[in-house]
Amino acid sequence: MALARFGTDGVRGVANADLTPELAVALGRAAARVLGDREFLVARDTRRSGPLLQSAVSAGLAAEGADVVDLGVLPTPGLALVSAVRGVPGVMVSASHNPFEDNGIKLFGPGGMKLTAEVESAVEQAMEQVETAGPSDPSARVGADVGWIAADPTGAETYHKHLGSAIGDRRIEGMKIVLDCANGAAAGLAPQVFAEAGASVTTIACDPDGANINAGCGSTHPEDLAAAVVSSGADLGLAFDGDADRLVAVDHTGGIADGDVLLALFAVDLAQRGELVGGTVVVTVMTNLGFRRAMEEKGIGVRETPVGDRHVLEALDAEGLVLGGEQSGHIIFRNLATTGDGILTGLLLADVIVRSRSSLASLSTGLIVRLPQVVENVAVEDPRRLAGATGVWETVAAVQEELGASGRVLLRPSGTEPLVRIMVEAVSEDQAARAVGRLYRAVEGALGPVPG
């Protein structure tokens, strides 16, 4: 069994190949040993491999004496919310926006918070101990010391009620909204939530079959949603990803609003109402330079973190702030959630639109003047080798010097896939593309492509 390594969002890989049942059992046992709680919540998205891996991680937890509460199919922010309400750890089986062949396991602490890097390291070490002990572990629990596993459908109800209270007594009456549920975890819940809030709801990609999650749909593929919004004359389109922790929106003209635009809208709205605590919004290094300039013009501060909503949350809590997010559509409203929540974000966006008596297109036009941004992924065997690739970093320094203050370069190893991600912002798309090509060749030359 290969040792699992935590990336930016848990352990991830091809289900039953990289992420095997044996590894999931070991991870469950390690999580129980490190977190030390008597009860754990587990949930999953709609992937075919979900029940397989959920059963395995649950078996590992129960083998260490933990009682396991199975919440079934539930968005990641739903698991986090129930974890916070009940004060017990949670385990989410999902690979978020990845294709259905992949799966992943994310761990949450008793307050619904993703684990710190230090705790994740302790879990990895505990997994090594589990593997070393093997089946003849003398500390194995037996009899009444073995944990039980039982289903509990009330977890979904807790999350449903939480979403229903998010906009208080206000309504989004009369709004025509198209929801793209990515054939994922939002499919059974999101349409109800928006209908109960007063919207007229139609759906696409809302029929999960275990293999169609994120397949040409959802927040990473909003093209069909844009077409559906325009053809139906809807006011708004909302696209979730497989586990519904991120959102991309579509306005009535078919224009797409990503996380940068949505975060800017929310920051301005909260600031105007005197509710943007600290007058500051938290973003990651991937956020467009145009966002930073737009916030500066509005008198709103920007705090930058590494990629990953865990880092955004840490910054929010460290400074007592209330709003943060990522370009990908993870947006955290800290007074309402401990993680990105696509359904919650969509509700709050609809509320902003109704209160403004405007449209998403009007609210977002001219809000951010983006610098052209080109992003490219380089497939490599071991992204961790990037840190020591001196020649690559010399190329990065040279490119950044050429761009000057009007551009930006970012290279980072992916925390979820065997990739190095390259991002360049420049005054023109052509200049950015040339810089990306130069960096791509440097990375591939130093780290090598994935063996065919």
What DSSP designation does 145 have? G
Q: Which two tokens stand for residue 319?
A: 């400074």
Are 296 and 319 a contacting pair, CB within 8 Å? Answer: no
Residue 195 neighbours by CB distance under 10 Å: 13
Are 15 and 102 a contacting pair, CB within 8 Å? Answer: yes
Residues 62, 121, 326, 97, Cα dihedral to 10° = -50
Sign of the alpha-carbon torsion through 2, 118, 67, 55: negative
SS3 content of the chain, % helix, strand, coil (to 5): 40, 20, 35
Residue 373 CB partners (closer than 8 Å, separation 6+): 288, 423, 424, 425, 432
CA separation for the pair 134, 126 (Å, rounded): 13
What DSSP designation does 254 have? S
Residue 58 bears catalytic tag: no
| 223 half-sphere exposure, CB direction, 13 A CA radius | 3
Question: Which of 72, 65, 386 is closest to 208 using CA atoms?
Answer: 72
Q: Which of 94, 96, 364, 414 is catalytic?
A: 96
Measured at the CA of 368, the angle between CA 214 and CA 300, to 5 degrees, comes to 110
Residue type, 215: A
State the catalytic residues: 96
